[in-house]
Amino acid sequence: MTTQITKDAPNTPPSAPAPKGLIPLPENTARATATAAGALTAASAFLAWTWTAEFPGDLTVYGYPGGLQWLVLIGGALTALYGLSSYGIKGLRWLAPAGAYAALKFAALAAFATAWYTVLSISTELGGLVNLEPGGYIVALTSLAALLGALALPFQRPEPDPIDPDDTGWEHFKHRTRHGWDTTKAAFAADTPRPVGTLPSYAEILIITAILALGLLVFTYGIGTEYDELFVGFLITAGFGFAALNKAGLVAHASQITARHQNITICGAFAAAACFPFTQTDDQYATLGVYILIFATVALGLNIVVGLAGLLDLGYVAFLGVGAYAAALVSGSPNSPFGVHFPFWAAILVGAGASLVFGVLIGAPTLRLRGDYLAIVTLGFGEIFRIAVNNMDGTSGPDITNGSNGISSIPNLELLGFDFGAQHTIAGFTIGRFANYFFLMLVVTAVVVLVFRRSSDSRIGRAWIAIREDETAALAMGINGFRVKLIAFALGACLAGTAGTVQAHVTYTVTPEQYLFAGQVPPNSAFLLAAVVLGGMGTIGGPLIGAALLFLIPNKLQFLGDYQLFAFGLALILLMRFRPEGLIPNRRRQLEFHEEAEAPTVLSKAGA
């Protein structure tokens, strides 16, 4: 049965009802309302929202945004831009290759949530609505109008008929033009997916550079937020803003571009990260940066075990502790019973080697288990390690680790005469202690990324993936499952021990309490596993970004106190509900979680 397409509604069969939004408004009215109100919301950031400077951010100035006003300005501008893009304006078509309506909703939600959070915070902290200036009332009304207009838009435009794979190229061309994929303004006015052509290589490299610069800017802004209200507003704007870009198709388009230039993207990412210490005036935020890199490196090592080989390891943080304790014992600490001081290259070999040995010793008798049984055994190993180093105090056991007091006064690293604990001046910039360790961890992270890439692309990496997908089938194909899993376990442990060596020198002290299964402050096994899953299992960028978020957010949300873990759990539930494949998903997992959306509709003829 063939559906006739009318001229008035080129994408809608005559029998199908017109799609509607949550609010009964004509589509053109709703779109105009959302666009205009978004522009007014952005403009209201230049007004004063309160009369007193007691609220942080100085929101009392006319003509210049401050604090949270910058975030509302970004949300309002995005709303207006996606509203204009939905009209098919030629210069804005690239903003929404997958359609503008869904992106417009999330952009309006970002502006509304940030604006109303700010207004309510001002009223709560200062004692009522009387503390609002006219700009505060205006931004509340305009952001609400933008959200209502966006919600009145249709939630989903009808999709074009599926392309028959047996059609000729001419039939394919007629199908595209008939359903709006031509270059006319009328075609782009409808909220339908738009074709994205391949750009020249130099243009794609420029796009990658812009993406990395934007990522550095967002990270630097987030890590440098000076007060709690600003960081919460940053999370709101960044979260809904990312959702808007994702719904618009820009995230998918950027992923395709970076995948075509993977080597350039990775090198550019490290170059952008190396610029971070030069954006800081002191070590306050460089401290967070080096801890994030340590956490991210360990998470990437865990990604080999969990993401590639599919082994659920709940005690992985113990390998970080083994490397840290091994390096601390040979690095010249006065609390070490050995009384030796190895150079850095030897200490890092000791830390990585000790973790490798423990990985083999633990993996050899346990990796014949699968699933939940393996998870329980690794969880037990993590607890055994912590209890063992706690008891090696000379009373309950041999005097090796100094018990609960740990090994303290670990000296700073020196490499080729370069003292990582001293300040250095580079190109007119003063680089402090934590900035030095940031650069060192950046090199370690680069090595771990190289190992991960080479391993995943090798024959052993393909064997890991086969074991992860179906171990029984992999064994039937001749893969030695035990040997392959043991290599993954040992390699992941070695990488964790390497990061632990640097961690011991950065923190000066290693104690058993640093290596718990779960706690409010990472790194711990629960946060490491969450970083891998939330970031994107089996990818390089996923665990790095996931670890950065999971380390930064708890440090910035300490003002929540006992509610911090509640907020963290709620965020996990929401992310697993709306993006279960992770922030930077592996293509295979993305297809698994969104099979109904991604599967090709090639059976239409058979069904007919």
The pLDDT value given to residue 593: 60
Average pLDDT, the chain: 81
Q: Give the chain's length.
A: 608
Mean pLDDT of 28-33: 92
User: Do the strands 429-431 and 418-419 form a parallel or antiparallel pair, or are they unpaired?
Assistant: unpaired
* pLDDT top residue among 355 and 189: 355
Mean pLDDT of 419-424: 78
Backbone angles phi, psi at 430, to 5 degrees: -90, 120
Q: DSSP assignment of 460-528, as one string? A: HHHHHHHHHH-HHHHHHTT--HHHHHHHHHHHHHHHHHHHHHHHHHHHS-B-GGGS-SS-SSSSSHHHH
Confidence of residue 12 (pLDDT cuts 50, 70, 90): very low
**pLDDT tens-digit readout, 398-411:** 878 888 888 888 88
Which one, of 275, 229, 273, 254, lies nearest residue 50 by Cα? Answer: 229
Which one, of 226, 234, 232, lies nearest residue 57 by Cα? Answer: 226
The pLDDT value given to residue 519: 64
**pLDDT tens-digit readout, 544-562:** 888 888 888 877 877 777 7
* pLDDT top residue among 21 and 249: 249
Torsion of CA 173, 176, 177, 179, to 10 degrees: 150
Which one, of 286, 284, 277, 294, lies nearest residue 510 by Cα? Answer: 294
Write the CA distances from 15 to 11, 25, 29, 153, 164, integer angstroms.
Answer: 12, 21, 24, 20, 23
Mean pLDDT of 346-372: 88
Which one, of 393, 420, 378, lies nearest residue 290 by Cα? Answer: 420
Q: Given a cut of 50, is residue 13 above it in pLDDT? A: no
Mean pLDDT of 379-405: 84
Q: What angle do CA 304, 310, 315 make, to 5 degrees?
A: 70
**pLDDT tens-digit readout, 178-213:** 333 343 444 444 455 544 456 788 888 999 999 999
**Rg of the Cα trace of the chain?**
27
pTM of the shown model: 0.79
Write the CA distances from 145 to 72, 134, 233, 238, 414, integer angstroms.
Answer: 14, 17, 20, 21, 60
Percent of the chain with pLDDT over 70: 85
Contacts of 189 (CB under 8 A, 6+ apart): 86, 87, 88
The pLDDT value given to residue 599: 42
CATH numeric code, 282-595 = 1.10.3470
Q: Given a cut of 70, is residue 461 above it in pLDDT? A: yes
Burial bucket for residue 226 (CB in 10 Å: 0-12, 13-18, 19+): exposed
Task: Look at the alpha carbons of 98, 101, 105, 107 in this order and tell me if their dihedral is positive or negative.
Answer: positive
**pLDDT tens-digit readout, 79-124:** 999 999 988 887 787 888 888 888 999 999 999 999 999 999 999 9
Domain with CATH 1.10.3470 in the chain: 282-595
